[in-house]
Amino acid sequence: MTDLTSNSTFLIAGIVFITIAVIGQSKLAFIEINPGFFGRFLALIIGISSLLYALGLLNFSAVNLDLLRTFLTEQIKQSISSINELLQGL
């Protein structure tokens, strides 16, 4: 349950920050948002990182991480052996 709540939080924060970065100067009810260039750039960076983090929480469960670790270990072993063969040929 907490995983879903934190995922939703980062998703909503990412959407809000991306909206601030894209719209720029606007007036929401009684709040005026005028971030300027640096504020819009910072909102864009925070928004993209929040959305990527929320996406990462969805895609990487414990099983997927174990499969990824196994796959990367096998790829590293294969690349090390091929590099050794290449160096032996020189």
Average pLDDT for the chain: 75
Task: Write out the H or E segment, with its range, that includes residue 90.
Answer: none
pLDDT digits (tens, 9 = 90+) for 38-75: 888 888 888 888 888 877 755 555 556 677 778 778 88
Is 26 within 8 Å of 33 (Cβ atoms)?
yes
- Give, in degrees to the nearest 5, the angle at Cα 57 between 53 and 38: 10
